[in-house]
Every structure is written in C-alpha cells, then in structure tokens.
C-alpha cells in the first residue's frame, strides 16, 4: 500500500498570520505519507521562491522535492509541488499547463515506490466554476494522452464547494474519490475543497483529514490523506 496526501500549505502562513515553514514540515511529519501534493508551495511574487527550501527539506530528511526545473528557485509550477520519500525513484515528471484567466497549473510525476510505479498529479484549480471544468478537462485529456499509462492518483485543492457537480462530476467519470472529509477552514472545517482521486486500477483502503493541533494553526486548510493499493 502507498500513502498519499494533499496539503494547501498557504505558503506556510498559519491561521496566526505567521510564516513558519518548520511548522509545515512538522505537520507533514505527522501525516508520514509516501507522496505529498502541495499547493501554494512557492512565494507568490518575485522569483516565486520555494517556502520549503532544499536546506529545510535536507534537515528533515524524509522527503525530496520532484525536480520540475521550471523556475530556478521554485519548488514546482504555479505553487504546485510534489514531495516523495528520499528513497523513491522519479521515473518522469512534467508540468501541465492549464487554461486560465489567472496563473494556474498542475504537476505530474511517475514514481517508483517500493517497486511499484504510480503516477501522481497535483493541482490547484480556479475559483471560477467554468474555468475549473476547463482545467479538469485539460488534466483528464493530458493523463489519457500519455504514451505510458500507470495507476494514477490525482489530488489537490479543487476549490469546489458543491457536493458532486461541476468539475467533481467531470473527474468522477474517470476516477474514484477517496472519502476524506471536510478540510476547510482549518479552525472549523465546513467544506471538502481538498480531494484525492484514483484511477480504477487502484482501491482506497483508508482515507481521512489530518486534524491535529499543529494542522489547525499551520494553514487555513487541513491536509487530506489516503492509502491506495492495486485493485
């Protein structure tokens, strides 16, 4: 089984309005996932520098960032990043360009974890329902058009407040959703904005929201997680 997680880390700015990257890493350590999709992982302006620097990740020792190599100081693409365990092999990786009015993107990596290759897509979709659907269609088409096909996990902040319409219906035609739970707002969760999905070669065995004291102050979103195995 492989444990995956998704976390809108809000550039490590907590509900106390303080930027504390070490606190973000502490929450990730509590989750202890094999693969983590991060949203808002880079600073918004200037060089878009990563909040969790290589130095911080190196000191922690558990994970490495998938190297997309798009911007020199960024961890990912438009704030989307993937962390994997230090002993995992990155078979391939790429950014996915999404249709949008404001900067949006997704990231995809093929990862060999304990001998199994799994594809992971991380995303942060638009605030507009129309653009979310267009972005969902672009991600689905990109995955389906790949030369090599692998069991696939998609996760991120979908910004979808509905229970099952809009982009959720579009994704559900191709992928199954993990029953993670409400993740926003961290202090009093009322919405399932953060989602984990998987292709039908995979089965969810467990899923949930990581609701700890640290997580309630580290970001305005709580992390979501799931364990998957080959169906």
Give the burial class of 200: count Cβ atoms within 10 A of its Cβ; 0-12 exposed, 13-18 middle, 19 or more buried.
exposed
pTM, 2 dp: 0.96
Asked, as a colleague might, if the bond just before 52 is cis with ω within 30 of 0, I would say no
Q: Is the dihedral of CA 141, 144, 147, 148 positive or negative?
A: positive
> Does 55 have pLDDT greater than 90?
no
Rounded Cα distance between 127 and 6, Å, is 18
- What is the tens place of the pLDDT at every residue in 62-98? 899 999 877 667 888 999 999 999 999 999 999 999 9
């Amino acid at each position: 089984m492989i444990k995956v997680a998704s976390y809108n880390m809000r550039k490590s700015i907590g509900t106390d309005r303080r930027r504390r990257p070490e606190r973000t890493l502490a929450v990730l350590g509590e989750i202890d996932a094999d693969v983590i999709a991060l949203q808002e992982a880079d600073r918004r302006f200037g060089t878009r520098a990563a909040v969790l620097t290589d130095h911080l990740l190196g000191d922690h020792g558990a994970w490495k960032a998938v190297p997309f190599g798009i911007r020199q100081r960024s961890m990912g693409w438009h704030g989307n990043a993937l962390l994997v365990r230090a002993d995992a092999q990155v078979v391939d990786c790429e950014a996915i360009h999404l249709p949008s009015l404001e900067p949006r993107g997704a990231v995809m990596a093929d990862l060999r974890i304990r001998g199994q290759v799994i594809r992971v897509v991380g995303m942060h979709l638009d605030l507009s329902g129309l653009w979310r659907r267009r972005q969902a269609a672009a991600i689905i088409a990109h995955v389906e058009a790949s030369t090599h096909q692998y069991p696939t996990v998609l996760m991120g902040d979908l910004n979808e407040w509905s229970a099952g319409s809009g982009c959720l219906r579009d994704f559900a035609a191709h992928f199954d959703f993990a029953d993670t739970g409400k993740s926003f707002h961290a202090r009093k969760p009322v919405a399932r904005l953060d989602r984990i999905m998987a292709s039908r070669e995979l089965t969810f065995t467990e899923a949930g929201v990581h609701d700890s004291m640290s997580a309630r102050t580290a970001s305005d979103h709580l992390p979501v997680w799931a364990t998957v195995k080959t169906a």
